Amino acid sequence: MNYPTPHIAATPKDFAETVLMPGDPLRSKFIAENFLEGAVLVNNVRGIQGYTGKWKGVPVSVMASGMGMPSIGIYSRELYTAMGVENIVRIGSAGALIERVPLRRIVIASACSTDSNFVDAFGLPGHFAPAATYKILRTFADEAEYEGIDYEVGTVVSTDRFYTDDDDLIDSRKYNNLWAKMGVLAVEMEAAALYTTAARFGKNALAICTISDQLVTHEHMTTEERQTSLTDMITLALNASVKL
């Protein structure tokens, strides 16, 4: 793919080898302004802010993915194929499907189930299993262990929907319970597309998510708790990313 792309007005030299991807463009800006040294805005097409700076002397980029699998599918593909990026790490939030997974725990997604048709576009003669790159997963798990962070490695489900029809409570509970029966830890909306795109183009990917909502006990983080917990996740991601 040539550059600039339809969605990224930059060149390969503008991006580091590793890109951290929050969903929210303002989260990308927050990371750049509060963590990265010498951060430079390298993309702002459609307000999807991307920055490159340094963490502990190592170049790192951060760029938003937007919400949902189609959005992260676009940005990850263009970063991988046009911008020379090797590693993309999604840093986001998720809802816990199992009661023993508490608020604030970081879930490192080893693999993803999904209710999306995203993978169908690749024309495979069966069901693809989107999985993280082991080297990155191991690096992040080791760093979390070293830092004493509450984390867990396991599977998540990436869904195409945030609401059910009329936000039907019974339907939502049934959906969550069925995935929970299979040991799926949490639900989010992007990882399966990221993992599939990385596999297709021979690149590396990982998704780590902070549990912001406990869907069994109906607990939710306060605004202050969300800010603090996501900051812990950002620091973990930066410390681990410079070791890749």
Instruction: Report whether 101 contacts 145 (CB < 8 A).
Output: no
Angle between helices 223-241 and 134-147 (to 10 degrees): 120
The CB density around residue 220, as the number of other CB atoms within 10 Å, is 13
Active-site annotation holder among 24, 115, 160, 213:
213
C-alpha 174/C-alpha 183 separation (Å) is: 15
For residue 213, indicate whether it is catalytic. yes
Could you say which DSSP state residue 64 is in? Answer: -
User: Which residues have C-beta within 8 Å of that of residue 143, sequence separation ≥ 6?
Assistant: 236, 239, 240, 243
- Strand boundaries in 77-122, DSSP class E: 87-96, 106-114
Which stretches of 41-127 are DSSP H helices? Answer: 69-82
Summarize the chain as % helix, strand, coil (round to 5).
40, 25, 35
C-alpha 10/C-alpha 44 separation (Å) is: 9
Pairing of β 204-214 and β 219-220: antiparallel
Angle at CA of residue 29, ends 23 and 33, nearest 5°: 145
Catalytic residue list: 213
